[in-house]
Structure 1
């Protein structure tokens, strides 16, 4: 693992092939002030994985969004208001760097990998609009994304939970540490996506339409079950 300027590192990467088994990947994960509307990113991690060497190049971000942290979120991610206010960096600067790195990776043919990607991408888009960078948010609306959660639901027909740790165990991927840490979760999502790609190299890139279709199948099935059980339904479209 190497920690360095992610934009400088991406500049060095050659154009990537449209091949799920061999192209480099850019992992992304966030920890936030909460889950609801108006929540903001506290910490984030971008991890560039070289598929040939297996080396990860990591950029971590700690931001001060100047907004209260929900106690439930704090209990999960471990961030306190005092710590974030004391140590968090400039929100706008950090968000811009994240967005620019993701956009540059896309231009190089490097897909963005995020577990439950809609949450993290939507959070970044929302925060960019808050700081007056709706132009960058607009560019993020047309990403090539690989969401291991969508792949796992489509390709592993099993009962039970679909949290990152559950999927890791089913696909035989060893954890790197405790979950709900942005860097740990990002590298875990990359490990998981690589394992899925090794088992299913037939999936073409870009895989957006495939994922939209598979998400739709899952959502339809889930909502039928939810109707019978009186449970909460999910959105019928993936949203990416």
Structure 2
């Protein structure tokens, strides 16, 4: 039986107006079909988020408010198309790979509800693979950063144009592939079981971060913002 990591993966990434998935908006998004013995291919979107893009966000992904207004498509249309692309990939049996999935999937969910689009989780039940959660599990005591750039360096994955959604989505898939290829017990775990395990691992990891903030002078309030849910924060929980 062919391992899941030898079959196509669906990479997903969002670049946004900020770091709050409840309130910030999608600026760019990409859905990429990766691996499975075929050339990688995908789609990318530029949205007009309908709000100002802060300079801090532009400094990360390079998209200005003026550029998004001039060349971006209506946010509602982008959200519908991105959600549909992901739903089709999931229906085809592909797991969704997203770095820090809690952020991207929660943001997509809230944007869908904002524009009256049927959310992804009301269409399909995706298996999600998060390279950050997986890496922290298989190599929990490794020192250093755990950003996507850090993981690409550690797992020897090429990442050009970091913080563009298509490059990040592709790199996230490559990192997951490398993790599965290096740690064969990950490769042998069925997708459904691996998804369920990540729910628990992500919770444990978030609890550890919350406890660290709580006992670190000057960071105590940060502990209040650590959410334990994965791969997305349920809408009822946020409300």
**Normalised-by-shorter TM-score class:** 0.7 to 0.9
2:48 maps to 64
Unaligned runs of 5+ in 2: 233-239
Instruction: Return the match for 1:167 from 151, 154, 175.
Output: 151
Q: Which runs of 4+ in 1 moved over 4 A?
A: none
Partner of 1:210: 197
> Aligned pair 1:226/2:179, yes or no?
no
* 1:1-240 equivalences in 2 (<5 Å): 19-36=3-20, 37-53=22-38, 55-133=39-117, 135-139=118-122, 142-157=125-140, 158-175=142-159, 177-200=160-183, 201-206=187-192, 207-230=194-217, 231=219, 232-233=222-223, 234-240=226-232
Distance between the aligned counterparts of 2:211 and 2:50, measured in 1? 41
CA distance in 1, matches of 2:123, 2:14: 16
Q: Distance in 2 between matches of 1:147 and 1:102?
A: 15
Q: TM-score, normalised by structure 2?
A: 0.85
Q: Is the 8 A contact 1:112 1:145 kept in 2?
A: yes
1:169 counterpart SS class: helix
SS at match of 2:32: strand
Residue deviations 1:3-27 (CA, integer Å, cap 9, x gap): xxxxxxxxxxxxxx88332221110
Question: CA–CA distance in 2 between the matches of 1:213 and 1:128?
Answer: 26
User: What is the aligned-residue RMSD (CA, Å)?
Assistant: 1.9
Residues 172-222 of structure 1 deviation map (CA, whole Å, 9 limit, x = unaligned): 2232x1311111111111111111111231232122211011112222333
Give TM-score scaled by structure 1 length.
0.85
CA distance in 1, matches of 2:211, 2:115: 40
SS at match of 1:142: coil
Instruction: Give the aligned length.
Output: 221
Long gaps (5+) in structure 1: 1-16
